[in-house]
Amino acid sequence: MNSCWCDCFSGAAGTELHSQNYNELVWFQIKVEKIASNLEAVMKKKYDMIPALAKTVKGYSGHEKSTFTEVSQLRSQWGESKTMNEKIRVASKLEGKLAALISINERYLNLKANRSYQSIMKSIYYTEKQLLNERKYYNEVVRRYKLGLRLFHRNLVANMFDFKEKPFFSEQERTQ
């Protein structure tokens, strides 16, 4: 009789442990997706400023056409990307080209004095600060989620229910 109660108790405790682990993994998964959505919104805000920036810069440097074309194409690719992995990959390339577009101002002193250019750059600067904070937060939650997928008992539940790792948004990818 005691054996039966022990089996029932351990079975209920095991189910409770699995249930708790499953719920925590689901919570982290949803949290990562929510933060990825926030990150995506800030990136979209920044990338939506590109046409105005390109138009302003183009007036001063018509011969830099290839840079404008590449930035525009990458912006379109980013908008068409379906997964976070794709968005991160394209965003990394776009950030490099955007830096090249912004660096054009060093060659054109009149451009630096242009009010429209100054306004756009100020907006990009503040959006970039916001983006940096979102990336840090996203990476921290992804780190916790990945840790949760690897810790014992959660890893059993993660494998049982096919939880997948989420990508980091790393600085290295941006500079490639």
Torsion angle defined by CA atoms of residues 5, 6, 11 and 16, in that order, rounded to the nearest 10 degrees: 100
Q: What is the pLDDT of residues 37-60, one digit of tens each?
A: 999 999 999 999 988 888 887 777
Residue 64: how many other CB atoms lie within 10 Å: 17
Q: Is the pLDDT of residue 35 over 80?
A: yes
| Phi, psi at 59, each rounded to 5° | -65, -25
pTM, full prediction:
0.78
Q: Where along the chain do its domains lie?
A: 27-175
Find where tokens 């997706």 sit: 33
> In CATH, what is the architecture of 27-175?
Up-down Bundle (1.20)
pLDDT value of residue 138: 96
Q: What SS3 class is residue 161? A: coil
Q: Is the pLDDT of residue 1 over 50?
A: no
Distance CA 102, CA 130 (A): 18
